[in-house]
Structure 1
């Protein structure tokens, strides 16, 4: 499988290339230092998998580059490689079109398995994330959804629930919906009260269950 490595640290890129190239059926066809270069290289080299860093201070970051690249090359599989063990980043990566999400601290064998998995058209989440998300989801199912139900939300509240779960800030939501930040905050407080949800991670899980993240 053809692999492109996108990371702003040259040492990381070189190390990954040395570890992976010519092994496990992987051919490293190129490297890029930021999202803009990553998109250009992907368009030129046509890799099967792009190993994409999440945070790159220069040019486009990994999330923006992932979303743009998936529009240009829908068949390329993008595996996010990051130090962030964070649900919000995870869901934003999936929403952007990433096929997988793995930590930089993962063992070499796990990284290879993740690359092979997304290359085969499967999704990949690092094991602790999968276990945590499933545990929290099952816990909510057992408890039932406290408070009101989804049907009690207004159309605007449903919109804001979806945008919030995708990781957008109040300001970004306000700009998109052409309303004030204060209005967004008010709707968000109302919908969380109706649903009996107190934290953002729980809100993300609820939105996932209701199919509001629109991953495609």
Structure 2
């Protein structure tokens, strides 16, 4: 069972999320909190696998609660940010705080269930539009070119246009300075192949796409990605993308 903690200051919102998630076999909502302080306390007591975290709450907000939980070595919960506000400062602050996913509350019930399942497996989740904004923010700064991902390819034509427009304007609209997600290291000890895999990950490519490009099995790519995360000292692919762009590793390719 995937154990979930719901954190939102609106009881009606929590009730809705509970109904959606509890209806899915394999998901158990083990607790609820109305603010960040209670979220930190319950996370330590209940040890949920995934925490669905709102941002704007009285007292300790979701971003601060996320920072505290990520910094606590005794907490292994992964955090999915759920917010009503589609704002770049929230997005990048959440990534910087160590969240493993970012989803708008306007998402469908199916999207919420999938997000919880993805994050519980140890992966990270960003919607295609959000991924485009991450790549645009760091890619423009680093002079890197973004590459279409499998996720972006699944959206319809109208959504693709929105994604492209978002990517094109993101760099100008984001004013939040980003701190490195891990101590900057000029050479984290990546092999040529690992550096190549990281460059694909930084462009939003899926494991399947990378495997096809490198003519290797998907399991081999997963092994490379795991080693990259370990060497960079980051929690997941989202943090790896941020690290890669901030430390000039996004465009390294095997000769």
Range class of TM-score, shorter chain: 0.5 to 0.7
Residue 110 of structure 1 and its aligned partner are, at CA, apart by: 1.1
Q: How does 1:48-197 map to 2 (within 5 A)?
A: 48-56=49-57, 58-72=58-72, 73-134=74-135, 140-142=143-145, 164-166=177-179
Contact 1:52 1:81 (8 Å CA) reproduced: yes
1:71 to partner: Cα distance: 2.0
TM-superposed CA distance for 1:18, in Å, is 1.1
User: Which residue is equivalent to 1:209?
Assistant: 245
Structure 1: runs of 5+ lacking an equivalent: 143-162, 167-204
**CA–CA distance in 1 between the matches of 2:242 and 2:51?**
30
- Partner Cα distance (2:246, 2:98) in 1: 19
Structure 2: gaps (5+ residues)? 146-175, 180-240, 249-255
Equivalent position of 2:190 in the other structure: none
Alignment RMSD (CA, Å)? 2.7
Give the deviation of 1:81 after TM superposition: 0.2
- Cα drift, residue 210 of structure 1: 2.6
Aligned equivalents of 1:29, 1:116: Cα separation in 2:
15
**C-alpha distance in structure 1 between counterparts of 2:4 and 2:20, whole Å:** 12
> Contact 1:103–1:126 at 8 Å: present in 2 too?
no
Give the Å deviation of 1:3: 0.2
List, as ranges, runs of 4+ consecutive aligned residues in structure 1 with deviation greater than 3 Å: 132-140, 205-208
Rounded Cα–Cα distance in structure 1 between residues aligned with 2:118 and 2:65: 21
What is the CA distance between 1:208 and its match in structure 2?
6.2
CA shift, 1:211, in A, is 2.8
Q: Which is greater in Rg? A: 1
Partner of 1:23: 24
In 1: Cα distance, 2:71 partner to 2:246 partner: 25
| TM-score scaled by length of structure 1 | 0.64
Contact 1:5/1:32 (8 A) holds in 2: yes
Distance between the aligned counterparts of 1:27 and 1:206, measured in 2? Answer: 31
* Cα shift readout 1:53-83 (whole Å, capped 9, x = no counterpart): 0111x22000000111122244210000012
Cα distance in 2 between the residues matched to 1:54 and 1:11? 16
Aligned length: 155
Contact 2:36-2:64 within 8 A present in 1 as well: yes
